Amino acid sequence: MKRTATVAVSAASKTAAMRAAREAAAKKKPAVKAAPPPVEEDEELEDEEEEVRLDEEVEEIEPEREGTDAPDDGPKSRYQKMYARTKKMRALGPAHAGAIMIGHVLKRLEKIQKSLQGGAATSPEAASAVHNLATAIGCLSTANTSLTTLPIGWKPPRTRRSSEPAARTPLSKGDLIDIRENVRSSYEDVLDPDQTIMLTVELCTPDGKKVRCRTQDNTLVILPRGHVCPAA
């Protein structure tokens, strides 16, 4: 019995030692970081070049609007440059800012069109895409030319919505009115279908929001002005 107990204790100690060794090896093993997704070098360079060209075009128009050269505050981060570019493009107005952006879109579309022209002879889908791109490029070019003719800083006039209610047909005593079809369902539990048409106006409130009227069976009802209309 003593020997059996000794063997069991020895096996348990070996198991514990192996578990401790595995845990120690796991702690020493360096963590493997997930590799970032690969970025195509050509696309990254193309985006950087486009941002540089965009900054140059904005800078060419900005001094013309201000009358003085824009101050140089030294190197900036990418986000600072994007914020400064956004402020300058807003100052140029939607017309010239739109012309700059359309110009860059045109350059990208022309590159796509050139890349597809090689397969246009063998693929009807590619030929259709090239044709559609040519149409889009022509329309955008016309729009770009029209926008650049507007003065710098031009903005379309803003139209403010009036808070006054829309003009309604005035109602007088004795006029015949109907309850509008789109709200008749809300009166199903109150009025019969025959009572929702050919009502006779008795009085309109001074503010024009309520109408007192009678149905054909002489039932008196008060309705919101927006729920009624002249009888057909």
Instruction: Say if 34 falls within a structural domain.
Output: no
Q: List the domain range (segments joined by +) for residue 215.
A: 176-230
Does the structure show a pLDDT above 60 at 27? yes
Instruction: Specify whether 134 is located in the same domain as 76.
Output: yes
**Predicted model pTM:** 0.39
Q: Which CATH number characterizes residue 210's domain?
A: 2.30.30
Of residues 206 and 21, more confidence is placed in: 206
pLDDT single digits (tens) 109-156: 888 888 888 777 788 888 888 899 999 999 989 988 888 888 888 888
Instruction: Specify whether 72 is located in the same domain as 140.
Output: yes
Chosen domain end from 128, 148, 168: 148
Q: Encoding tokens for residue 7? A: 């063997």
Instruction: Say if 7 falls within a structural domain.
Output: no
Q: What is the pLDDT of residue 8?
A: 46
Instruction: Specify whether 184 is located in the same domain as 90.
Output: no
Instruction: Say if 32 falls within a structural domain.
Output: no
Chosen domain end from 111, 133, 148: 148
Does the structure show a pLDDT above 80 at 68? no
Instruction: Say if 85 falls within a structural domain.
Output: yes
Instruction: Specify whether 49 is located in the same domain as 144.
Output: yes
Q: What is the pLDDT of residue 65?
A: 47
Domain count, the chain: 2
Residues 11-27, mean pLDDT to the nearest whole number? 69
Instruction: Specify whether 59 is located in the same domain as 116.
Output: yes
Of residues 170 and 179, more confidence is placed in: 179
* Residue whose structure tokens are 């003719």: 149
Please return the burial class of 120, using the count of CB atoms within 10 Å of its CB with bins 0-12, 13-18 and 19+. Answer: middle
Residues 12-17, mean pLDDT to the nearest whole number? 66
Q: For the chain, what is the mean pLDDT?
A: 75
Does the structure show a pLDDT above 60 at 15? yes
- In SS3 terms, the chain reads as CHHHHHHHHHHHHHHHHHHHHHHHHHHHCCCCCCCCCCCCHHHHHHHHHHHHHHHHHHHHHHHHHHCCCCCCCCCCCHHHHHHHHHHHHHHHCHHHHHHHHHHHHHHHHHHHHHHHHCCCCCCHHHHHHHHHHHHHHHHHHHHHHHHHCCCCCCCCCCCCCCCCCCCCCCCCCCCEEEECHHHHHHHCCCCCHHHHCCEEEEEECCCCCEEEEECCCCCEEEEEHHHEEECC
Q: What is the pLDDT of residue 73?
A: 56
